[in-house]
Amino acid sequence: MIELDLAGRLSSQADTTVVGLRPGGDAPTLSGWPKDQDKSFAKRHGQSLLQAARLIGASADQGVVRVIPDGDRRRVVVGLGQSQPDPESLRQAVASAVRGVTGGGDRPLRHIALSLGLDDPASIRAAGEGALLAAYRFTPVSAAAQPAGLERVTVVAAPNASARRAVELARATATAVNRARDLVNRPPNLLAPADLAERATALARPAKVKVEVLDQPALVRGGYGGLLAVGGGSDRPPRLVKLSWAPRGAQAHVALVGKGITFDSGGLDLKPPAAMATMASDMAGAAVCLAAIVAAAELDLKVTVTAWLALAENLPSGTAYRPSDVITIHDGTTVENYNTDAEGRLVLADALSRAGQDKPDLLVDIATLTGAKMIALGNSTNAVFASDDATADQLLAAARDAGEAFWRLPITAEARQALKSQVADIKSGGRREGGALVAAAFLQRFTAGLPWAHLDIAGAAFNTGEAHDLLPAGGTGTGVRTLIALLTALAA
């Protein structure tokens, strides 16, 4: 784990220093580069750091990075784009700078100092998050020894109470995102539902988060027909994990529900091979909920949080469920199954039904749920569906604060109409048009009329391309920052 700390002045121990280049009236200006350091630099190199940087194309434009060797150290100049960059712009700029020096080179990189002239808590937090998120590397499953990486990031700012809290928030948030990334990147043969339940327990207990794991016999006794149906084709049975954080003084209770399909073959409605390649990531919603509740406990947020991880492996076999099967969900609702590759809504229905029994003030589910969401909004923007305008606004505000892209989509009468069944209480789907809306309409049936939001993070949860800015290749941890921002706001 990379350490994140705060220092009142630039440390000589850092092997890499990142400073900002802001647009100015006549010329751009360096931000965060001390005059005494510049005098020493000029004595060694015959020119100021700004002059050296501009000779090799430094620009105040957002994210333009130039690296200047300085003996056994590196000085990194990054364009901030604005004279007063907003937190997300700052987060992205720092990420570009860190990615620019951690991607290779013949000199080890151990300690980065971020000296950007920061003085407000939001900017300090954004810079810390940007560095830690960009520096993430998944440790591969390998017999070979892995090279040591970045060990420490220092944010240079006046070390007052608000700055220290900002660093604490950045550390906890980035750690949570990177935990979710690690889980999503774990190969599916090494992360069956029982394995993910064990990892949830191992993460939760040191943070004083209570854990209860319902195994297959408990799921049978509880009538969790969605989980049992979806997991019925695998010899690695499903689990439902309940995580509870209930601090003294909490004024609100939020229930988080995460889809945790540890591998999705599509079941009997088998996916094409190319579409199956990334389906180890279909448990990203559960990973996000787990990471968020542990972060809430580590930050001692005064909000009660209950997280439900609905875990199953969706495989074809002689015991797999079928299209047209009728399944009884935990609350007694019977569901006509229309497609075994629409499994996520079935496991979420069980978990939403159970979560609603505790009458939380807010119910939020998050899932890599539909390809239709990707058609509607692409891979970078996530969908929000909500029971009402106030709940939607609450989630969208949290996403804006976190710097994550979400857009509200409606639940229409046409979508609800698509759920009518002739053989059961409800059908699990049936229309290609507006498929993400139909899925949301199905889920709302199991929310007991509570304030509720559904976050569809399909596409954004797993980056199949090259790493860039804040995003690594593979698991992205999308949604963690939004949930932590939501919980932080409710705790306040």
Give CA–CA dist 165/174, Å, rounded: 14
CB atoms closer than 10 angstroms to residue 100: 18
- For helices 435-444 and 344-356, what crossing angle results, to 10°? 30
Predicted confidence band at 252 (pLDDT cuts at 50, 70, 90)? very high
Mean pLDDT of 332-353: 98
Q: What are the pLDDT digits (tens) for 85-128?
A: 999 999 999 999 999 887 644 456 899 999 999 999 999 999 99
CB atoms closer than 10 angstroms to residue 235: 10
According to DSSP, the β-strands at 239-245 and 334-336 are unpaired
* Cβ(311)–Cβ(240) below 8 Å: yes
432: pLDDT strictly greater than 90: no
What confidence score (pLDDT) does residue 12 get? 78
For residue 119, what are its two tokens? 């003085």
- The more confidently predicted of residues 215 and 107 is 215
What confidence score (pLDDT) does residue 107 get? 53
Mean pLDDT of 16-27: 90
For residue 303, what are its two tokens? 């909000």
Give CA–CA dist 428/182, Å, rounded: 31
Closest by CA position to 173, among listed 208, 215, 225, 136:
136
What confidence score (pLDDT) does residue 1 get? 83
Give CA–CA dist 309/213, Å, rounded: 9
What confidence score (pLDDT) does residue 376 get? 97
* Cβ(120)–Cβ(163) below 8 Å: no
Mean pLDDT of 120-145: 94
CATH 3.40.630.10 fits 178-491, yes or no: yes
Q: Which residues contact 170 (CB under 8 A, 6 or more apart)?
A: 4, 124, 125, 126, 127, 128, 129, 132, 155
Mean pLDDT of 10-38: 91
Q: Which whole-number Å values give the CA distances from 59 to 39, 162, 473, in the listed order?
A: 22, 31, 27
* Cβ(455)–Cβ(463) below 8 Å: no
DSSP H/E element including 119: none
Q: Write phi, then psi, for 254 (nearest 5 degrees).
A: -115, 130
250: pLDDT strictly greater than 90: yes
Q: Which whole-number Å values give the CA distances from 145 to 102, 139, 148, in the listed order?
A: 18, 10, 9
For residue 166, what are its two tokens? 């900002």
What confidence score (pLDDT) does residue 430 get? 85
Q: What are the pLDDT digits (tens) for 386-406?
A: 999 999 999 999 999 999 999
For residue 87, what are its two tokens? 């937190």
Q: Write phi, then psi, for 176 (nearest 5 degrees).
A: -65, -45
Active site residues: 271, 345
313: pLDDT strictly greater than 90: yes
Q: Which residues pair with 312 in a beta bridge?
A: 261
Q: What are the pLDDT digits (tens) for 417-431?
A: 999 999 999 999 988
Closest by CA position to 488, among listed 291, 362, 299:
299
148: pLDDT strictly greater than 80: no
CB burial string 180-209: b at 16+ within 10 A, e below:
bbbbbbbebeebbbbbbbbbbeebbeebeb
Tell me what the pLDDT averaged over the chain comes to: 95
CATH number, span 3-159: 3.40.220.10
In single-letter form, the type of residue at position 409 comes to L
Per DSSP, the residues of 23-90 read --SSS-EEES--HHHHHHHHHHHSS-HHHHHHHTT--SSTT-EEEEEETTEEEEEEE-SSSS--HHHH
Ordered by start, the domain boundaries in the chain are: 3-159, 178-491
